[in-house]
Amino acid sequence: MSSPSLKDLVDQWLLLDSNSETRNEIQSLWNRNELDELERRMRARIEFGTAGLRGRMEAGWARMNDLIIIQASQGLAAYVLQHVEGAITRGLVVGHDHRHHSEHWARLTAQVFLAKNIKVYLLRGLNHTPMVPFSVKELNAACGVMITASHNPKQDNGYKVYWENGVQIIAPHDEGISQAIQLNLQPQKYDASSLSLCVDLTASLQKKYFECLKLLNRTRGLNATLEHTFVNTSMHGVSDAFVKQAFDIFGFPPYTPVLEQQKPDPEFPTVLFPNPEEKGALDLALATAEKTGVGYVLAQDPDSDRFTAAERSETGEWILFTGDQLGSLFASRVLHAYKASNAPVEKLAMVASTVSSKMIEAMAKLKGFKFVECLTGFKFIGNTALHLEAEGYDVPFGYEEAIGFMFGSQIRDKDGVAATVTFAELVASLPAQGKTVNGHLQELYERYGYFETRNSYFICNDSQLTNRIFTDIRNREPHLTSASYPKTLASLCINRIVDLTTGYDSGNPPSYTPSLPLSSGHMIQIRAGSEVLGINLVLTLRTSGTEPKIKYYLEGSGKDAKTVDSLLSKAVADISENWVQANKHGIRKA
């Protein structure tokens, strides 16, 4: 079947789009003969995947707009009615953040579901993303939708879907919903007056959320002593109100807000990329801390599901903790609390993404609890936690290196507010022991080994070249009839290879089948090491699903920082020169 002409795509848009602004946007582009721009916007439809939808807010099939929201909601409603028992009465939870169009799209989504006679719980006002999965579980709802683009630039927005289990959707639901959308493209007419039928339980749900959050409170007696200890930035997002309330419940004195970033602002005027991980994103927070003499900086991303922190050292320099360092600190704290409860440690389980640090794995081996890794993303972390629960384990913690942390059993998703108060309580617990957070981290390194990550990526705009690079890695000795991966990394012998593209795991005989699901793109993980030297490397090479990148996640571990740092530098050079062969292929590393 031949693909439709650009004119057909434009005509179809003009026929279906009832929003005069976006309809005129496409008509104007056509009138001005801006065919290249129309091709970018109209040729490929925005893809519904395991993260739902996310993209630039503009007119067109490849963008986020009213028509796309209506079609997605029509497909989701049809799929839920078909696959979730009692969906009509169990209903939909829908929430939104502060971005442009967020409230409008939440209301549009609600109208579509109401037209199908499905009950809708519309969370009023600005909410942080964890409120949606929390509410889905609390209400036993059929599904949930959060309108947010998390930490994307201001031009973007998104449509995040949670299944009836309160976890982001995974296969086969992503594909099933995508197919249902294709079968429900004809937009119906919706009446905004139907929103009066929405059920508003926002206040009671938020109250229950904070009651559950309070279960994490362990150092209330010490918390009140932390006067002028924290600066907090909400990154122009929604977190300030939620973190303020959490601080009050936990008994902390008020923090010092970064005034320029305190209020929700969809323009994000002080940051180009409102992601606390981005270079320079914490500059205002650090400057505020310097001016006020505060020793710790706390930060949430705009929809408050991610968290990071920084500590002023004795020399006055700032230590910005990585996601892996925070994950290890939190895991140690959770382990300590679990043991203090006298629960059997063999019933404890923790989860991390496969590209995250292996330090928790080292903890688990030494302390006797179960550690499980899964594919990247909280859709996998949350579902893995549910599977472990079904097997009889307690799963109070999970994380991924991209500063996402899950606490307790009420929310099987990352929660920046929970992470913020957990970190603050860690700070409160240490002065009596004469420690700082970084000092405590160094003690953990002495106990479990020193772990350091060195993550980056190569920019490759040619998908065929990317395929060729991975094919070459799998066939380093082309004269052999079977796959032949490299034998060493940074002169260390490789002792395990897991290829989640081809479905091969050298460490799982006799089937050699990986325990993890296969990846939709290229993904190879290797472990290399020397028992004699006591050093190890873990490397994951993968393609990005949204960007022209070959990403690598590299972690070294050993007895001391100097040895590991040298090992990582050698490994980075080996990856570039011999694995990806960047110079040969003319591609550059970030």
Provide the annotated active-site residues: 150
Cβ-count burial 325-335 (b if 16+ within 10 Å, e if not): bbbbbbbbbbb
Q: Is 139 helix (H, G, I), strand (E, B) or coil?
A: helix
Give how far Cα 504 sits from Cα of 244, 466, 496, 520, 575, Å. 48, 20, 10, 15, 21
Q: How far apart are CA 530 and CA 491, in angstroms?
A: 10
Instruction: Report how far apart, in Å, the C-alpha atoms of 248 and of each of 178, 259, 411, 422 are.
Output: 43, 19, 21, 14
Question: Who's near 319: CB < 8 A, 6+ residues apart?
Answer: 310, 311, 312, 313, 438
- Nearest of 299, 266, 246 to residue 421 by alpha carbon: 246
List the structure tokens of 440: 């405590």
Q: Give the Cα-Cα-Cα angle 525, 500, 580 (nearest 5 degrees).
A: 50
Measured at the alpha carbon of residue 35, what is the angle toward residues 31 and 39, in degrees to the nearest 5? 125
Nearest to 145 by CA among 205, 93, 213, 187: 93
* Cβ–Cβ < 8 Å for 272, 153: yes
- Listing DSSP states for 405-419 in one string gives EEETTT-SS--HHHH
- Tokens describing residue 190: 């919706």
Q: Cα-flanking dihedrals φ and ψ of residue 348, to 5°?
A: -85, 135
Contacts of 362 (CB under 8 A, 6+ apart): 448, 449, 451, 557
SS3 422: helix
CA dihedral 353, 355, 356, 360 (to 10 degrees): 70
As a whole number of angstroms, the distance between CA 77 and CA 117 comes to: 10
Locate 363 and state its tokens: 């903890």
Q: What is the CA radius of gyration of the chain?
A: 25
Provide the β-strand partners of residue 311.
296, 319
Q: Are strands 504-505 and 523-530 parallel, antiparallel or unpaired?
A: unpaired
Q: 568: part of which helix (H) or strand (E)?
A: helix 561-574
18 C-beta neighbours (distance < 10 Å), count: 12
Element (H, E) at 555: strand 549-558
